[in-house]
Chain A
């Protein structure tokens, strides 16, 4: 069975400082992993995805994530936070073998302080 754990429900950073949002996964298959962002009253937007190619994945808006199989982690990072990054972030695991069903984490709310 697949599952995903987002280790922090809330993260606060100052503008211009690095962002780290943590995600651990469990999967019986070779997983696909995604990070989505959700701004208030908006739909989910794909930030980046990992599908068994390069382990360091670069996404939009300066975000990147590293797939570490030995640690079953897929943490999201950004070198310098911007006020517009304040939002809810979801880590998602899916399998390549079955229905490609998404399993969502519970989300991390990122707050960016001026």
Chain B
């Protein structure tokens, strides 16, 4: 079974630029999550989708971050404009409803 795919794996941008990350979950997984993991910390949930709908986006900085999940499958997370403090690993995870989460390899973002 293929795992959660993410791209790109690494991205370096300057502050105030925009960036987008892509995630393809495990086939059949209705729930998709985006996490931000700052160096030395545990992952923090940014947004949770169930199929096309948003279940929880309470910790998403909506003035600069946006996410969408078209057709209930792939998802993109966008940052515009980026700040230095957005440097982190962005993890995507997927799960069946009410089940353990499977994580992708992450995208390491460096904002200079």
A residues lining the B interface (CB < 8 Å):
34, 36, 41-46, 49, 90, 96, 99-102, 104-107
CA distance A36 to B100 in the complex (A): 11
Beyond the given pairs A96-B98, A99-B55, A102-B33, 5 more chain A to chain B contacts, judged by CB atoms under 8 angstroms and listed by A's residue number, are: A43-B91, A101-B45, A102-B43, A102-B101, A107-B40
Q: A99-B55, A101-B48 are in contact. Are A46 and B102 (CB under 8 A)?
A: yes
Bound complex: CA of A44 vs CA of B91, how far in Å?
Answer: 9
Does B14 reach chain A (CB closer than 8 Å)? no
Interchain residue pairs with CB less than 8 A apart (26): A36-B103, A41-B105, A41-B108, A42-B105, A43-B91, A43-B104, A43-B106, A44-B91, A44-B93, A44-B103, A90-B42, A90-B43, A96-B98, A99-B48, A99-B55, A99-B56, A100-B31, A100-B97, A100-B99, A101-B48, A102-B45, A102-B101, A104-B42, A104-B43, A106-B42, A107-B42
Contact with A along B8-32 (1 / 0, CB 8 A): 0000000000000000000000010
* Top-5 shortest CB links A-B: A104-B42, A44-B103, A43-B103, A43-B105, A100-B98
Please, how many angstroms separate the alpha-carbon atoms of A64 and B93 in the complex?
A: 24
**A residues less than 8 Å from B104 (CB atoms):** 43
> How many contacting A-B pairs (Cβ < 8 A)?
48
The size class of the interface chain B forms with chain A is: 20 to 34
Mark out the residues of chain B between 77 and 112 whose CB falls within 8 Å of any chain A CB in the assembled complex.
91, 93, 95, 97-106, 108
Contact B44–A104 (Cβ < 8 Å): yes
Q: How far is the CA of A1 from the CA of B41 in the complex (A)?
A: 20
B43 touches A44 (CB 8 A): yes
Give every chain A residue within 8 A of B93 (Cβ-Cβ): 44
